[in-house]
Chains A and B, each alone.
Chain A
Amino acid sequence: MSAITFAIPGGIGALLAGLMFVLLKGDRRSGVDMVVHVFLALVTALFIGFLASKAMDNPGGFTEILVGGLLSGVLYSLVALGFVLIFKASGVFNYAQGAMVLVAGLALVRSLDFLTAKGVATLAAIPLAILFSGAVMALCALVIEKWVLRPLLNQDGLTLFMSTIGATFVLEGLAQMVFGSEVYPLKLFPTDPMILMENVFPGGILINKLDVWGGIIAGVLVVTLAVFFQYTKTGRALRAVADDHAAAQSVGIPISWIWFIVWLVAGLVALVAATVWGTKLGVQFSITFLALKALPVLIIGGFTSVPGAIVGGLIVGAGEKLAELYLGELIGGGIEYWFAYVLALAVLLVRPQGLFGEKIIERI
């Protein structure tokens, strides 16, 4: 530990505290807010300073953890994206997104197994299986729209949220009953490790190819979604419905159809997430708990922001890996379990709508 270890957190702390006050300028603020912000700024400063000192001890190891964390964070973003789409378009906080990943994964892996067992060549079987699981997701979207969402039109957010928990149970039960409930390995992407930046750090840094694939896929997905939302007729209708569904209906946008599309797109996003996560962990029941991992990502980024889901994922991924390694040795292991949530809570205290969420304007 040298003087620089303390200088850095001090400097960053001052910077962050300043930044927070700038962010909050013109906001309605109370004494409690002030205390909380100063406290948070100090804690963040200490944490970052602490990380910085660790980074200086072992730059290679630090970068390896950081990059690995960022990439695994992108995988959380894949799940969070589905949430954002549905929340944007229908105001439904969809707890079932994790279950949808499970359904998509099971449909994919089981149909793939079935086809290869029948002697279909792998290259032909993969598109067929993807087509089949896409159809399954469309069915899910149809059923949820027709039997859950439409009858609950105009109910408050909490009721809708609870109904998606109900839907989660149904999806989990059905998927496992139909497709089976064991661990099914899926091999769509290479999972072998690779070494990067050998010329920068001694020994380079070790990362998993799958994580890189995850990053690429997430990038492609975000671009596709952005184009879809921004430049297609359906996309425009989606944005209209997201703004005000009654008004959208009054200009002739078929709202049930739009919601079906949204849930379908969310289902397809779940399918994409399932290909990556299924390759990583094998398709199994515990994949549904991804929903709980995606929630902090979501609130850090903001419920309504697609880029927010990505940035949130990066922050959570890197933050929790670094915290686990460096803080874990101080206060006990397993803090990955809650770190993302505490981080999210801290972010919300400063920006109640998340980093990229629309500012909540209170009127009376």
Chain B
Amino acid sequence: MPKRKPVSKQQTEAIRTYIKQGYSANKIQKKLKSQGLGIRRQTLLAEVRKLKGKKPRAQSHKYTPKKYRRRISPPARRPVYSGKHIAVYRYATTSRYRVLARKLGLPKSYSARFELYGNGKDIAKAVHLALSGFVPRWENPHVECSARAFLANPYKYGEKGMWVGKPNIES
């Protein structure tokens, strides 16, 4: 809710009386001014809505003149998931995969990537974990997850292994 100058008891009582008499907000403002109880338009409208038992106006930020916008609460921040990820990628290998590769005659490494999103601190921690030798599983080499979820349960998304360079395949 935006912060407004408090309304005095006298003003509140006067407004309540005028509302009961069916006065419009415009007329109430003029009456208050003539009695030396002048009030800002926005404050008055909010008070009228409150006394009438109506909900505060939606999208107040949008309808507030720019010069007063700083006084009210800012619009909600951008969500953490904005579709932009930080990718940690290269070829990877694990002991489990090497056994399988030997059996099936596959290359010794596979292309793997983590795509992480979230706030900077979480991403930094997650990247450090990946750099320390945590790689995506061979079954799911392309992992897209939030950095926080990855940190909470890294074995859900990967396993201990090794990041390696591009394999030199000689036929």
A pairs with B: no
| Interface positions of A (Cβ within 8 A of B) | none
| Interface positions of B (Cβ within 8 A of A) | none
